[in-house]
């Protein structure tokens, strides 16, 4: 069942949209600094995603690989997914439990994607406000 957008006409149904995002993730869309895919190949609901972000050079995040879990509920893409770092990180917009406030990254729109979130998080790592965030050592909580 397709949903009507306010001014965009017909919106792609959730599963078609997520299948397209999965295909883009499997093809390695982008510059290789972020990646995403289903947490389990048996996830018929396309809800649970495991993602990685490679920390940008010349930042406290440099040379680290961060794991992010994304959960797309039935309201996706009309509403943003739940985003949580599995790796310990100190970053604005991310609480001490690793939960990301997606609304602080950019205004969410139905056209926004998992890749948009990951790129926005990586770009946030480059911000001056985060340049002095000493990162925990691996395995440190």
Say if residue 65's pLDDT is above 90. Answer: yes
**Is the separation of the CB atoms in 77 and 3 below 8 Å?**
no
Say if residue 1's pLDDT is above 80. Answer: no
Collapsing DSSP to helix, strand or coil, 88 comes out as coil
pLDDT digits (tens, 9 = 90+) for 99-138: 999 999 999 999 999 999 999 999 999 999 988 877 876 6
Query: In the chain, where are the structural domains located?
Result: 11-127
CA-based R_g, the chain, Å: 16
The C-alpha atoms of residue 128 and residue 103 are separated, in whole angstroms, by 20
pLDDT digits (tens, 9 = 90+) for 22-48: 999 999 888 899 999 999 999 999 999
Per DSSP bridges, beta strands 34-38 and 9-11 are unpaired
Collapsing DSSP to helix, strand or coil, 103 comes out as helix
CATH of 11-127, one of 3.10.110.10, 3.10.20.30, 3.40.1160.10, 3.40.50.2000: 3.10.110.10
pLDDT of residue 9: 58
């Amino acid at each position: 069942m397709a949903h009507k957008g306010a001014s965009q006409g017909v919106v792609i149904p959730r599963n078609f949209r997520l299948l397209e995002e999965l295909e883009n993730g499997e093809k390695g869309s982008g510059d290789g600094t972020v990646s995403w895919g289903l947490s389990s190949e048996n996830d018929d609901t396309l809800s649970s995603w495991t993602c990685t972000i490679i920390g940008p050079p010349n930042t406290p995040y440099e040379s680290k690989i961060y794991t992010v879990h994304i959960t797309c509920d039935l309201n996706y893409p009309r509403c943003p997914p739940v985003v949580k770092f599995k790796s310990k990180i100190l970053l604005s917009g991310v609480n001490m439990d690793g939960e990301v406030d997606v609304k602080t990254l950019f205004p969410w729109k139905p056209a926004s994607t998992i890749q948009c979130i990951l790129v926005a998080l990586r770009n946030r790592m480059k911000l001056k406000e985060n340049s002095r965030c000493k990162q925990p050592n691996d395995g440190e909580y």
